[in-house]
Each structure stands twice: as structure tokens, then as C-alpha cells.
Structure 1
């Protein structure tokens, strides 16, 4: 892999590192949420606490509901026609009743009945001023200022002020009211809201009672008005009856006519009257019989016995047979659905039904025959009566001419009398209906005291707070993931910079102090920590030549483990039988001597300055076959020595010929310019990145410095990896499967 080519466009790498992923890994997303579950739970808990606090500050509102129904059929106490028609059960009537319930008249009734004018809940004028002194002073000041600029209005007297208070109470009652018709029914829900559950129930029940009382009083007023009008009309009708009867009596006296109502009519008149009556009755009966006979015969001829039965239903036997026929027909239908056609009960029921049909047919034939005989007799009687009337008409003609005027007067008198009696009957009915009026609505469900508030709805609010908290927690976790610019996996690091990552170096956790940490790799040669450096050496070895090689180990910033990495790499490679030396080239913060547990009078800066030879500065590692060349801690006076690149190159070339591997622990790339000098002289440069700490932009900036210095990049190491946390991230690399391979290591 050409490392220089892969580092040519680090700006593009920065842009690529900050862009969104092309695909969404659901598994990785779920693992991310689980890893930061405490953030989600904390946000959810805070949301619930906030919701509970808000709910505790909100005054609960209770809603009580009563139901009233519009009567579609009202019971009739009187046999006569009602003076006021009832409400029709259709949508217009329901909506009209809803508007009546919402009217101010009903609200005033409720306020009067419950004396809400003296209730602090509905009359703000009765509420004591419980505000703070500061708020009271501020309110008074605002009032004074507003009065300076306000136009003086008319003075309000006490009666007007009280009326406005009463109107305000009514407005508040209407504001607490909710009227809703139930769909596809004649039922209306009347609901009232109040902070007091008992008051809410009282208001709802009072509203329902006020609706019924309003309707009853309205009907009483209407009936009373009609009764008053009828009483006045009866006086004029009574006068008209008296005058018409006096006119009849005067005409009789003037024309010498006998009052037939007292002494009776003449024989001819009586005979003609009786014959006429008999003829009318005979004609009516004959026409009725003829029409009935025609319908029955027509129904029988067309085969529709049902039509014939309708005219025969006055016969008790036909009615009885018809009822039995209907009963058996229902039985046959039920048996057919239950048992089928061949069941014995089904056969028996069909036989009984056929027997009834035969009896019904025979009875119809008998009734038809009787009907025909009656029609013939009635026709003959009608002809006889007509002949008798013609003979009697001549004798009464003369008398009739004289009585024409009399009859006219009598008819007028009779009409006045009938009209008077009709109005008198209506007047009596109105008086009786005034006592038996019924409302068009009735209460079908009384409001009960609500057990729980309708506002706020605590379960709903808490559920919503939980959902919002979870969503907020998830959003925060995703935001934190987006803002997290560190590196945790080999794939992330390789995708970021385009260089191979040799190994993941585990974080050493020890409770015995720093000395145990530095010597861990030699104390535990079969540990995962030692195996990680062997993997790093295998990867690094592929880019080195057969002769001795100089490898610079650096990082972006301090505390990324590059010094321990340099020492550990040298120790592991030396145990493989190779000649290795590690040089502490970090002249400002030299730490290799402390980590290796060695001391020396001569240091690497002394060699560069020419004060000592290379052999005098080399010391042996007490724990491995590797050699060490240390620097003096705090050697700020030697910072310019590396600028003598020729001398440093001479030293490194001499060591390259003596050792198989020369490991140079250099300063961080972003902190010092020394690494640029050392990387140009080295065969390869290994770059350390601290796991979950070093930002990606910092890594890219340091690599850009190395690119400008023409460094030959070998690869990268991901250092100080927390294996236990790394495995929970689910990256499916060596860190994720560490627990499965634990038996291969001896920690």
C-alpha cells in the first residue's frame, strides 16, 4: 500500500469523516441506544418529574355529565286533540333543544336555584385580594396611570353594578357548560366543569332540571294564553246563539208555523223523513255490501286469498284461523331452519298448516255466498223505498216551501250552537291540560360526583411525558453520537485515513502501581496485551527491508501511550531473537527511563552533542534482551539538538547497521517539530491513536504534518483500548470477541 498516495487528500478524509453514513445499521443503532441507555432513562425520568411537577401545580377540573332525552311519543292524558303539538324526533328538533339548553335563560335558572351569585367560585367580586403587596402596589400604580390617560365614562349606579355581577356569574356558568347531542339518538349530554366535584354534579343535575322546568312553564303559559282567548270568544258566541234562536221563534210566530221540535211533524213529513232515512241507510248499506262483494270476488278470481281475508276479518272464525295460520307459518319457518324439510315435527307442522288453509278457504266460500244473498235483499229493499218516497214527496212539497226559510234560520241557530259547544269543549280541555302538561324532555341519567378529574388527564400526560422523554433521550443519544468525533474501531480509523491499523492495544488495568503496568508485557507474555504487539510487529514487518530498520513511534497529542507502546514493541520484538534498541527522542518529556525502570549517566542528547559515544549511552533493559537509550527528563536545554539533522542521521544509520530494529519514541506530531526531522530519517513511522479520546480532526491534522514532512507511514495503532467497553459497542472486531478468545491468553 502506498501510504503517501493514501495521504494526499486529507481534506477529503476530514469531509468524509463528518458526513452521514450511506446506510443505516439497525443493529449498530440499537447497540448505541443500549450503550447510552442511562442517558435515555435520565431524560425520561426528568421528563416524568417535570410532568408530575406541572400536574401538581395545575388545578384539577372535574366534569359531571347528565343525560336528557327528547320524548318522541308523549302520553295523552286527555282523549281530545292536544292544543300544543309535541316535538318531532328529528335532527332539527335535537339541535334546537341543544340551543335552548345553551341559552342564558337556563343558565339564569341554574344560578338562581343554586344561589351562585353568593359563590366565590362564580362571583369574582367575592374573592378576597390574596395577591402579594408588590403585585398589589404595581396593580394600583398601573390603575392610576391608566386613569390619567383614560376618558372618563358615565357613572355606574349600584343596581347596574349588581346586574353586571349577575351577568358575569351567568357568563361563567355558560363557560362551564358543554352540550353535545349523541349521534343517531334523541339523547343530549349536558356536562358541567368545576374544581369541586360535588359542585360539578350539582350544576349538571340543576341544568337538567332547569331544562324540564323551562319547557313546563312555557307550555303552561301557552295553555293559559289559549284559555284566556277562548273565554273571550265564548262570550261573543253565546250572544250569537241567543240572537239566532230568537229569530227562529219570531219567524214561526209571524208565519203560523208549528214548532215541530215540540209537537212533532206531520204524518207526511214524518213518513217522508223516515223513508228518506231508510233509503239513505239502505243505499249506504247496499253500496258497502256491493263494494265488499266486488273486492272479495276480485281477490278470489285472481287467487289472492289474502285480499279476501282482509274483508272477512270481522268474522271471529276467520280471525281465529288467520292467527293459527300465522303461528303455524312461523313454526314451519323455525323448524325448517333448525331441522330441515324431512323432520317429523316439520312434516306435522306442514300438515297442520295445510289443514288450516283448507278450513280458511271453506269459511271464505261460505261468507261469500252469504254476502251475495245480502246484496240481493238490500237491492230489492232500496227499490221499494224509492217508490214509497216518490209518493210521499208530493204531499209535503207545499209544506216544505213554507218551511224553507224556517229551516234556514234553524240551521243558522244550530250552527251557532255547535260552534259555541265546540269552543266550550276546547275551553274545558285547556283547563284540564293546564293540570296535566308534560315536558318534551326527561332526565334519563342523573349526574354522579366524578371520582377523577377530567383535566388534566394524568395518565395521558404522564404517558406523553414518558414517550417524549424516550424520544428526547434517543435524539440526545444520536446527537451525542454525531458529536462524538473520537475513534473506537480499526475500521473507523482505516476509513478515516486510508492506512492500515496493525492492532488494538488493550488498556492495562492494575492495582499494583505504575511499575506493574510497565512490566506487564514481560510478566504476562501470553496476555492479550503482548499478543497485540506481536500482531503489530507482523503488520509492521511487511513494510520493512531485510536490513536493520528505523521505526519512529509518534502520536497527535500527549497521553496517547506512544512511549509505553515504543517500549512494549521493542521488548516483544527482542523476545523473538532480534536485536532491538529503543531510543527516547522526546527531549522535553522524556519518560522511557521511568517506564523501563533504568537509570544512566549518559543520554541520547549527550550522544547528539558529541559528549559521549553511542556505546556509552546504550544500557540494557533489565526485563528483556532489548537495549535502551534514554533522555533526561525535563531536558529543555537540549531542544535544539534535533535540528542537527546530519548528526542525528549519522547516529541512526550507525544503529541501523548494528540492530535489526531501532524504535524511536518521538514527541507528538502536533506539539513539536522534532517528529518531522525524525520521520524523514526513519524507514517507517507508526502513528498511535488513543481509543475513544483523540478527535478525528486531530488525527488528520497530525497526519497532515507527517505528510508535509514526507514521512513514510507504515500504519497505525489504536492504543489504550478499554476491552470491556469496546465489546459492548458491538463492532465485531477482535475487541468484540475478546471474551471468546480469553482462554488463549493468560492475563
Structure 2
């Protein structure tokens, strides 16, 4: 504990035993907690004469040094022999005070001992109490300054326009009319739109249309280059715009804050209109550029397709690889030869059977009717039957040597000869048919072998032809895809449909942003007063510390 604090505590203890203090305490009203209210200033003064001698100069508040000085003059300390020993080092002193028959031993440091540089709560409170009047004045000035500052704060007005992002339109644009796009595509597209609406191109359009460069709130009334002024206007406009998306929805809001309600709504609506116009012009420009690029590629793609198809035709003709209904003519020819060969072999079998059958025939077979059906043989058989019956009749009636019978037998022999000749002719015809069938089979086998050899030779040519046909098909697919896309982009230029629509336009707000004027003033008074109080207490503590250092030095 410091010397000053100890002196103050002991002075208060001695004041309790002074008769004048007790009488003054008895005459004065008691404090609420039952203790007597003792005035240390009146007690230390003692009387008017003593007070006159001990009163500090006017205009200066009572300090702890004055209190310490008065306490030493009224209660002189008795030095003991232990205070200053031979080594010269100060030791604690003892004094004896007697009051109401009791003796108290008090140890106190010398009155001019060095005070420790301690900044505690008691020191702060003492300094604040000493300079309470300047502190209150500073707090009052701070409160008034806060009130004036709050009264001069500018008002701001915010206007909001709400937009809706339609995912179905986006699905049509991505070619997914049957189902909605993935959440990643939707979120990325919506976030991109929130950045586009506050982009420099859109802001520059708004600043130009509304002539914000001549507006003091944005142009700042500064003179400079046109590019510099525009950059300052766009920076200020961007600072006053806030684009936010509602969580979990396809709705986002455009908020504009200015010093005027009508200006905020005008800028917000102009910003939305500029954004929609920019989106439309960008889409049409994109469709036009894509269409122009695709259209410029069509001639080259068409030439490539024609060249590929011509190469296929030339290679086909050179290697005799023509196809009908998707099949190679050589393959069809080979199949036909195979079928003809089978038919020829069947004919050979039939001709051989016919030859064998005819070769075994004789007159009896013909007369018995077992011979192959033939009109000539039928007629001869009929004639033979009639003549044979006539001969038998003549033998019974005329006898063996009758001339008529001899004539009939001669006719019958002639018919037998004709039947033999017919049988020989039939054998010759069957043999000829058999030989022709064999020759046809041999010819077909020869041609079939030739075709098989040709197929073996053209195997590599067929592989190369397939490769050429695939290249031609790829060129055709590319050409048709580019042609179809060019037609679609040409139609999109005139059939543009925006996927963003306005849910609500911005209207001038009726009230300014933030709390009311009264609340602002109360906050300014409270904050300014609190700041002034803190500054005053800090200054008082600093001044007290400075005076302590001056006394110490």
C-alpha cells in the first residue's frame, strides 16, 4: 500500500476519536446505513483560522497532497529511533494515538517517501472525482455533438424489383423438354444471371440512359476525363446495387439504394430493363453469329460429302462391287449360280432316269401300256391293236394263205416297225437331254468357280470399300447436322423467349431506410455522451499521472 493511501486511512481512523467530530456527528443526521457522515475537509480545517491557513489557493481543487499536509500538521508524527538507523536507510515509523483509553500502534512510511506508480481503480476514481466538472462538461459536449451528427446524417431509400427464373424455358433451350435440367445447371445459370445483372455493360447502359454522369450523387460534380467520370459513376452505381437470390427458389431481387425514393425505383426498373434487353440482344447476337458460322461451313462440308460419295462410286465401278438393295451384285450372282447349279444337277438326275427308263422299253411294254406317255406311241398302239384284231379275224375266216391276210400282216409289221423307231427316237431324245443337263452343270460349275475366285480376290477391295462408305456416311451426318442446326439458329433469331420474367417492379418507398430520426438522435446523444465521458476520464487520469511524475521528479 502506498504512503498516501495509508495516510488517508489513518486520518479517517483518527477522525472517529476526535470530540469535535463526534459532536458534529451527533448534531448531523445519520447516513442511511447508520454511520455518521463526517466531513474530512471541515475536520482537517479545525476552525476558521486554521482553515484559512490550510485552505489551498482558489481556483485549484483539493488534492491528496493538501490532505496529507494537513494531516501531518494536525497529527505530528513522532519519530522513533528505528526510523533512520546508522546505515541511512529509512525504516517504518511508529506512532501512538490514545483515544477513549485505548492505545493503537500505527506504522506509517515517511511523509515524503517515493510513491509507487500504480494505476488502480482507486486512483482512477479519485482522479475522476477531482476533475468531475471538466469531465461532465466534455460528456455534455459529446452528447450535443452526437445529437447534431445524427441530425445531419443523410436519408437513404431502397427500392426492390423481383425477378423469376423459369426453368422450363431453360429445359427447352437445352433440348430437355421432357424433363427439367439438373440442379447443377440451374444453380449455375441463376448465379450467372445475378452476376450479369450487375455487370459493367448493363450498368453502363443504365448510366447512359438515366444520364447519371450529371447527377451529383453519382457524378460527384468533379471535372475530369469522360472515361474517368464514367468509371466513378459506375463504381458508385455498383456500390448502391445489391442482387440477391432467395434461398432454395428461382427468385432473385434487385435492390437499389439512393438518397431519393423516386430515383431508387427508377434506377432499379432501368437496371432490370437493361438486363433483359442485354439478354435478348446477347441471345440474338449469339444465334446470329452461330448461324453465320454454320452457314459458312456448309459449302465446305457439301464438297467433302460429294467427294467422299464420288470416291465410293469410282472404287465400286473399278472393282465391280456394285450393290443392289444393300447387297453386292457379285454376292447375288454367286447365289444365283449356286441355285442354277442345284437345278442343273436336278435335271441331270431326271434326264438320267428318263434315259434309263426309255432304254428298257420294247414292243410288249408299249402294248402293255408301261411305256412313258407319248401321243405317237398311243396312236401306234391303237393302230397295232386294230390291225392285230383284224389279222386274228382273217385267220379264222380266210386261212393262213389268203392274200388279204398277208396284207393285214404286212400292215401290222409296219406298225411294229414304227413303234420300234419311236422307241429309238425316245431313247435318243432322253440321251440328248441327259447330255445337255451334264453340259449345263459343267458350265455352271465353271462360272461358280470363277465367281468364287473373284470374291476371294475382292475381299480386300470390299474392306476398303466399307471404309470409304463409312467416311461418306460420316460426312453426310456432319453435313446434315450442321444444316439442321443452321436452320434452328435462323429460327431462334426471330423466336427468342426469355427465361426471366418480372414478378414485381420497383416502386418508390414511403419510408427511409434504418431507424427513425428520434431514435437516431437518442442514439447519438447516448453514444456522444458516453464517448465524451470516456475521453474526460482518460484525460483526468493522464493529468493526475503527469502531476505525480512532476512531484516525483
TM-score normalized by the length of structure 1: 0.32
TM-score normalized by the length of structure 2: 0.42
Q: Which has the larger radius of gyration?
A: 2
Higher RCO (CA-CA < 8 Å; seq separation 6+): 2
Whichever structure has more helix as a proportion of its residues is 2
